Chains A and B, each alone.
Chain A
Amino acid sequence: MASIPPFQRALDEHKEEIWRFLRGMVGAQAAEDCFQETFLAALRAYPRLRPDSNVRAWLFTIAHRKALDHIRRRRHETPLSGKEERAAPERPDREIWSSVAALPPRQRAAVLLRYGCDLRHREIAAAIGCSEEAARRSLHEGLKRLRETI
């Protein structure tokens, strides 16, 4: 019988990749709030999900929206908070993370979804709400920029 699984399963299965995505999008500090908002919105809408839906892609769509909301809000904040701590992991990764943080949001999302979370182009397009071609382009440009700066 077709049914959607208990919400806890979606949380267990996808928490880590959603966290990884948000960490790259908004930094480790803000990732916590975005993570909570993402799963709260998902829990609210969950019973209306169709049984054949791709829960994973749906969660990434919500997470992407929450990350953009956060980025937009931050833009309106005082310049003082502009240089706040971004991605967390220490070690030589630091340089990569600051380059990721410097990407325009759409390129950043595309790179994170592809290389951090293994989404396919079609899924990336769905998550960030653009055409597959546009997702491919964002990914390509983002990656090019990253390689140049590192």
Chain B
Amino acid sequence: MSTRSHDPIAAALRAPAPEAAAAARRFADRAAADRRADLYYAAVASPLGELLLVAGARGLTTLHFVQDDTDATLEGLALRRSPRIVESAAALDRWRRELDEYFEGRRRSFEAPVDWQDLSGFRRRVLRATAAIPFGETHSYSSVAAAAGSPRAARAAGNALGSNPIAIVIPCHRVRHASGGLGGYTGGLDRKKRLLELEGVQR
């Protein structure tokens, strides 16, 4: 018994089901509203391009500039945290709103919670020190290293910042060379420059 394409039975049973897409969205929205999954993600538009946001019960775990590594990011979280990951714009709404306000120049610090669970050791200390740099200010790599307890580890601090999982909210763009040079940025130096301009930092 083979299924032939001109077989009217097979054709009827195979008829596309466009309703499935809406049903799947309803499922994801309800799963988010009832907190059935462990992590939620959404792609969010911003003046610097699309952002990938991921959050769980403890707060935001990820803010990446979308650069084709979305799948890898989510797979990593599935492995480290939980595979119960569902797409839901509603679940990421509070972070999205704060980011909108930030980009509109109406917000200088973020209030929605950040999840520090995956961050440990020196990397955590560096990112903690970075999170404390106020809007519109910049610190040097060595001062961040010093604040993290290792004054001579400026290069290692740079590496820790390069692997910042929560860009913008943990403001690694506020760390640059003492000379005023921009240093590096995982999202690209152009984005770093534009974030500093937005915050009114003089070059």
Q: What 5 A-B pairs are tightest by C-beta distance, nearest first?
A: A116-B13, A19-B20, A6-B85, A93-B12, A3-B79
New A-B pairs, 5, CB < 8 Å, besides A19-B17, A31-B19, A114-B3: A8-B86, A20-B14, A40-B27, A43-B84, A93-B11
Known: A6-B75, A6-B78, A89-B15. A36 touches B26 (CB 8 A): yes
**What is the 8 Å Cβ interface bit string for chain A, positions 1-13, against chain B (1 contact, 0 not)?**
1011111110110
Is A16 a contact partner of B20 (Cβ separation < 8 A)? yes
Is A3 a contact partner of B75 (Cβ separation < 8 A)? yes
> Chain B interface: which size bin?
35 or more
Which of the residues A1, A15, A93, A118 comes within 8 Å of B20, measured between beta carbons?
Answer: A15
Stretch from A64-72, A73-81, A138-146 forming part of the interface with B? A138-146
* Nearest-CB residue, chain B, relative to A23: B17
Chain B residue numbers with a CB within 8 Å of A8 are: 28, 41, 74, 85-87
Which of the residues A16, A35, A47, A139 comes within 8 Å of B82, measured between beta carbons?
Answer: A47
Chain B residue numbers with a CB within 8 Å of A140 are: 1
Interface SS majority for chain B: helix
Is A96 a contact partner of B12 (Cβ separation < 8 A)? yes
Known: A3-B83, A4-B83. A100 touches B13 (CB 8 A): yes
Is A12 a contact partner of B24 (Cβ separation < 8 A)? yes
B10 contacts the other chain (Cβ, under 8 Å)?
yes
Chain A residue numbers with a CB within 8 Å of B160 are: none
Give the Cβ gap from A120 to chain B, nearest Cβ, in Å: 12
Q: Which residues of chain A from 93 to 150 have a CB within 8 Å of any chain B CB?
A: 93, 96-97, 100, 111-112, 114-116, 118, 139-140, 143, 146-147, 150
* Nearest-CB residue, chain A, relative to B76: A3
A60 contacts the other chain (Cβ, under 8 Å)?
no
A58 contacts the other chain (Cβ, under 8 Å)?
no
Chain A residue numbers with a CB within 8 Å of B3 are: 114-115, 118
Chain B residue numbers with a CB within 8 Å of A96 are: 8-9, 12-13
* Nearest-CB residue, chain B, relative to A111: B13
B interface residues with partner A (beta carbon < 8 Å): 1, 3, 7-17, 19-21, 23-24, 26-28, 30-31, 36-37, 41, 74-75, 77-79, 82-87
A interface residues with partner B (beta carbon < 8 Å): 1, 3-9, 11-12, 15-16, 18-20, 23-24, 28, 31-32, 35-36, 39-40, 43-44, 46-47, 49, 89, 92-93, 96-97, 100, 111-112, 114-116, 118, 139-140, 143, 146-147, 150
Is B17 a contact partner of A7 (Cβ separation < 8 A)? no
* Nearest-CB residue, chain A, relative to B18: A16
Give the Cβ gap from B88 to chain A, nearest Cβ, in Å: 9
What CA separation (Å) do A24 and B13 show in the bound complex? 8
Is A43 a contact partner of B9 (Cβ separation < 8 A)? no
Give the Cβ gap from B16 to chain A, nearest Cβ, in Å: 7
